[in-house]
Amino acid sequence: MRPFLERLANRRHFGIRPGLETMRALCAALGNPEESFAVIHIAGTNGKGSVAAICEAALRTMGVPVARYTSPHLVRVNERFVVNGEPVSDVALGRALDTVEAVCAREGLEPTFFEVLTACAWLVFREAGARVVVCEVGMGGRWDATNTIEAPLVSVITHVALDHCDILGDTVEAIAAEKAGIIKEGRPVVMGAMDARAKAVIAATAARLHAPLFDAETVRVTVSRRTLHGQTLQCSSPMCDYPAALTRLAGTFQAENAATALCALERLGEQGLPVPPKAFAEALRTVSWPGRCQLIADDPPTFLDGGHNPDALRALREALKSMHVRRRVALVCGFCGDKAVGAALREIAPLVSAAWAVPLRNERGLAPESLAAELRRAGIPAATPMASVEEGIEAATAWAQDNQGTVLICGSLFLVGEVLALRGDLGDIDPSEGLRAH
């Protein structure tokens, strides 16, 4: 294991703690590095990573020194920290961790794993000279370690749905209230497409804080061409018509994410950082966000997706249907046992002809035999437990070839990371499995 990974892994025993007291004290002891750059702060249940990737790509296209902080990573922890389009080096992360650990020892602070990661991000981005940081919330919003950001350029709340219910609440309204915790006094806020109940909570919070509220559904997105490899999007907002762009981001839900990103980027123009229409179109053309309806093979067509809650798999089903994948799907899936697995599987089941349940390299993973039983209960009788991810993919691929079908690999992001690592797309997987959570 790389030395700084072992030190990070040791932070796991602090768990997840609500409250910002430790994080605020840590930032103050570090000289408040988060105040050295402007921030686009993004919360939401689904879509926030894609929105962050589009926003970062647009700013990078403009030549703005930009960084991106997202979580979790898929293969290597470095993926979370991107500066001007490149993951930061082990050396830079190790140096930041040295500083954080020294300050913690001096001040008697015991931050959690994610608080340490976030503090390292602020240090790395300050050292790199980032002008703008596109920052994704780790979980929730109100008590998230990233919420020490006091005056964001814009707060963005993407699609809100049920997930992490044991921590965030078991209603859409409760979860929306946690996400709305990133809204700051007088600062603009953008909300994406979501349930009217969630919108009402966000609107009430924005009104209470006198935060100008913008609805991304005022942005019209026209899809002129869809293929397995992507789609052509043309966006039009009340402010401007934007050039059409062919993007690798596939699925109807990515059109919604593009609208949310554009609505957020237009708020920057009101603060002296206008995003030219051509820059936004170029961002759509070049942006990449692995593991989200990602086509990883052509013969047979094979998609990889990290959807693990009912809302995400419903969106994935509609995305596949929009690309004329309507039946004969060979499903390879792996889930964590603390998710709403049955409800999620029922969303994708109408497309699935056969399924293979695979293990996760994580202690939270649902055993293949138990997952196969869940698949059968969801209406997929041809469900087989497998001993490994490789064997599951091999069996599904053979079935799809024989039946002119499509392979879909989905479920936990742990599964996505393992598949990408097997392919060598993002390097060798971090040996500390727990580091990929949160």
The DSSP line for 197-242 is HHHHHHHHHHHHTT--EEEGGGSEEEEEEEETTEEEEEEE-SS-B-
- Considering Cα of 68, then 70, then 74, then 79, what sign does the dihedral take? positive
* β-strands 352-357, 383-385 pairing: parallel
**Which of 110-119, 165-174, 369-378 shows the lowest mean pLDDT across its residues?**
165-174
Residue 318 scores a pLDDT above 60: yes
pLDDT tens-digit profile of 33-82?
999 999 999 999 889 999 999 999 999 999 999 999 999 899 899 999 99
pLDDT tens-digit profile of 400-411?
999 999 999 999
Q: Which residue did the predictor score with more confidence, 46 or 327?
A: 46
- Provide the 8-state DSSP code for 89: P
The residue count for the chain: 438
Quote the pTM value.
Answer: 0.91
Residue 232 scores a pLDDT above 50: yes
Residue 202 scores a pLDDT above 90: yes
For the chain, what percent of residues have pLDDT higher than 70? 92
